[in-house]
Amino acid sequence: MPRTSRTFGVTLLALALAAATPSALTGSASAASPTTAAAPDKAGMIAGQYIVMLKDASDRTEDMDDVLTAATAHASDMGALVRQVYRHALLGYSATMTAATAAELAKDPQVQAVQKDQKIRAMAQPVPTGVNRVDADLSPTAKIDGVDRRVNADVAVIDTGIDPNHPDLNVYRAGGKNCLSSILPPRDLNGHGTHVAGTIGALDNNTGVVGVAPGVRLWPVQVLGPTGSGTTSSVVCGIDYVTQHADEIDVVNMSLGGSGSDDRNCGLSNGDVMHRAICNSVRAGVTYAVAAGNSHADAGGTVPAAYDEVITVSALADFDGKPGRQGRATCYDDQDDTFADFSNYGPDVDLIAPGVCILSTYFANRYATMSGTSMATPHVAGGAALYRATHPTASPAAVKAALQAAGNLNWTQTGDGDNVKERLLGVGGF
C-alpha cells in the first residue's frame, strides 16, 4: 500500500499508455524451410539490421560453439557485421547487413530463419492501491507489516533497467545485463523499469511503497533505452541472458511489446525469433508475465502477449484498492473497478490486474504514478514470485494455473472489448 505522495515522470514508450503503438514482428514462412521476415518495410523496422536464428541443437551434431563461430564467420565473409550472439534461449546472432545478404543467408541449410530487426516499446505512461486490490497484504509469504523481511525469489525485469541505488528496492548487484552496451552496467535512465520493479518487490520497510512480493531479488535486464524503446535483437539478448541463469531466476516481467502473432509453433513456422527464445526459456523453467498492450484491441496482434507460453495481463481501473465502484478517479479519467479503457483484451489474456494510477518507485530515488498494462503486469510477476517462494520446483505451467485458480471475478465487466471476464489476480492465499 502506498505511503508517500506521488511525483510525475516523463511520458514513456513502454507498454504504458502513451506507448501503445507496437510495431510489427511477424515472420512469413513455414517451419519446413528457412524463412526471412525482411519482406515489407513496416513502421518500426530497422534498415539493414537482422536477426539470424540457427537450427536447434537437436537438428545437428556439431559442437554449438563451433557452429556459432562458423556461422558468424560466414556472415562476416558475406559482408555482415555481427552485433550480438545468442547461445542460451536460442542459437543465433544479430547482424548489420544488406537485404540481399539476408536473403542469401536465409538459404543456408544451417539457418532456421532470418528476421528483420525492429523497434520494441515499453507498455505505460507517467501517471498504487494495486497491492491491496490483489490482497498481497493478506499473503502469509509477503507478510506486509512494515518490517523488512524479504521474499526468497528472483525476478528479472526485462525493461529500461532498474535504478541500482533506489533505497526501496533489493536490486541484485551481482546479476543483471545491459543488452544495449557491452561496457556499461544496466542502469535506468527512463523510470519505466524501476517503476515496474517497485510494484513487483518494493521493500516492506515502512518507507515509500511496498511491492506484491516485498524484497525479492530484482535482476535488471536492460533492453530498452532512455526513451523507452529498443529492438527485437536487444529483447532476445535479454531473454538469452535470463535463460543462461534459469537455475536462479524464477520469474520474468516483460512490460513491453510489438506487433505480431502466435504461430502456435514457437516461432518455427513464421520465423519469430522472440517467440522461439521465450519457448526455450520457459522450457528451462522460467515463468514469464507480459503486458497485453494499450491499444484497446485484441492482444492476439501484440507479441509477446499473443504467445500461449506466457501469462498475459490486461489492466483494471481501480482507485481505492477494493471492489464496489466507489473509488474516485485520481490521475486518469476512468471508471473505478472496471476494465481499463486503454487495455487490450481477447482470448490470449490470462489475468487482469490493477493498471491505472499505480504508485511505485521511480528512477533517481523518486516515486511516481503511472498507468498502463505495464503497471498491471508486475502485480502478476510479484504473485508468481510469491508462489515460487513456497513452491520452488513449480513449472511455469503450474505457476500460471495456480495464479488463475486463485483469481476472482469480483470486478465490474464494463469496457472489456470481448465481453469475456478474466480472473482478477488474488494472492492472499500465497
Q: What are the catalytic residues?
A: 159, 192, 374
Collapsing DSSP to helix, strand or coil, 10 comes out as: coil
**Adjacent-strand bridge partners of 72:** none
CA distance 56 to 34: 12
- Closest by CA position to 290, among listed 90, 115, 156: 156
Cα dihedral 70, 75, 76, 80, rounded to 10, equals -160
Sign of the torsion angle spanned by Cα atoms 218, 221, 223, 226: positive
Collapsing DSSP to helix, strand or coil, 405 comes out as: helix
CA distance 218 to 150: 12
**Adjacent-strand bridge partners of 84:** 94
CA distance 297 to 344: 5
CA dist list (Å): 372 to 10, 327, 375: 14, 18, 5
* H-run or E-run covering 21: none
**Adjacent-strand bridge partners of 314:** 352
**Adjacent-strand bridge partners of 111:** 54
CA distance 51 to 95: 6
CA dist list (Å): 349 to 291, 304, 408: 9, 11, 15
Contact predicate 118/258, CB 8 Å: yes
Contact predicate 351/422, CB 8 Å: yes
CA dist list (Å): 22 to 42, 121, 274: 11, 6, 15
Side-chain-side CA neighbours of residue 258 (13 Å): 27
- Closest by CA position to 124, among listed 385, 323, 368, 352: 368
